[in-house]
Amino acid sequence: MSAERVVLVTGGNRGIGRAIAERFVRDGYRVAVTARSGEGPEGTLTVRADVTDAAAVDAAFTEVEQKLGPVEIVVANAGITKDTLLMRMSEDDFDSVVATNLGGAFRVVKRASKGMLRARFGRVILISSVVGLYGSAGQVNYSASKSALVGFARSLTRELGGRGITANVVAPGFIETDMTAELPEETQKQYKASIPAGRFATPDEVAGTVVWLAGDDAAYISGAVIPVDGGLGMGH
Ligand code: NDP
């Protein structure tokens, strides 16, 4: 049953979002991805949308609804970093990160909720980060945007939990994508030393958890924060 459902993953053209979309395709779901550039993996429907633009998000959902049907599972994955120390952080560094990471989730989930309420079924999965709750020097903007997703998912759970809709947060640690490739080698080495698993993860290791949360086995899990971080954030 669950494998026939319609999934939308934001930022599915590369990185973690792409791996998530690939997993859903592999498991037989009908999968759409949003992309500003490029294309989603084979077997997906790619729709154009910048998640900071509510009209573009609305149009993307309309296209998915017309081509695949109502979105039953939404993965808010699109995200950016603009790292710098607070003293040097500009208004734009702060606002653009919050508008993408938190505002993007708001726009996408709000639009998805209409169809989910009608269907009395929905899975909302928000991609946060270990630094949301752990904190990270130079990432006040990013960390704030990611911890806010926890309040978002928990409030949504209280609003819509009685309608067959779950909302959960996945908090990855360090994952091998373009985002972490930007880090200087020395910084990467230091991070690896502080991760109990002693390594970064592959995007596919995050994807497995997301697909599991979307499935029938996770029907009674809501408002949870699931770490996929090799033990980095333990206790948070
Ligand atoms: P990448 O930088 O590899 O990819 C980011 C994705 O988000 C791209 O598809 C990008 O699209 C999309 N995106 C960014 N801004 C927008 C926007 N305004 N509208 C639409 N799409 C947008 O990142 P990752 O795959 O590493 O990260 C994915 C998510 O996982 C992010 O939310 C990130 O914060 C989170 N995360 C990543 C970790 C890591 O170690 N890599 C750790 C913890 C969390 P485009 O190609 O068009 O730019």
Name the pTM for this structure.
0.98
Distance CA 146, CA 5 (A): 27
In the numeric block, which tokens belong to residue 106? 């708001």
This model of the complex carries an ipTM of: 0.99
CA 32, CA 29: separation in Å to the nearest integer?
10
Chain position carrying tokens 């029907």: 219
CATH topology of domain 2-228: Rossmann fold (3.40.50)
Q: Render pLDDT for 97-143 as a digit per residue (tens, 0 to 9).
A: 999 999 999 999 999 999 999 999 999 999 999 999 999 999 999 99
Torsion of CA 131, 136, 139, 143, to 10 degrees: 30
Is the minimum distance from the CB of 139 to ligand 1 under 6 angstroms?
no
Residue 142 annotated as catalytic: yes
Pairing of strands 30-35, 44-48: parallel
Residue nearest to atom 33 of ligand 1 (CA): 79
Greatest Cα-to-Cα distance within the chain, rounded to the nearest angstrom: 52
- What are the sequence ranges of the domains in the chain? 2-228
Give the model confidence (pLDDT) of 29-49 as tens digits: 999 999 999 999 999 999 999
Mean pLDDT of the chain: 96
pLDDT tens readout for residues 135-178: 999 999 999 999 999 999 999 999 999 999 999 999 999 999 99
Q: Among 164, 54, 66, 62, which residue's Cα sits nearest to residue 105?
A: 54
Strand, coil or helix: 122: strand
For residue 129, report the distance from its CA to the centre of ligand 1, in Å.
11
Residue at 46: amino acid letter = T
Cα of 103 vs centre of ligand 1, distance in Å, is: 14
Helix-helix angle 103-119:54-67, to 10 degrees = 40
- The answer to whether 136 touches 177, Cβ cutoff 8 Å, is no
In this structure, the number of other CB atoms found within 10 A of the CB of residue 191 comes to: 15
Long-range pairs of 83-92 with CB within 8 A, sequence gap ≥ 24? 83/138, 83/139, 83/142, 84/138, 85/137, 85/138, 86/140, 89/140, 89/141
Catalytic residue among 29, 134, 142, 220: 142
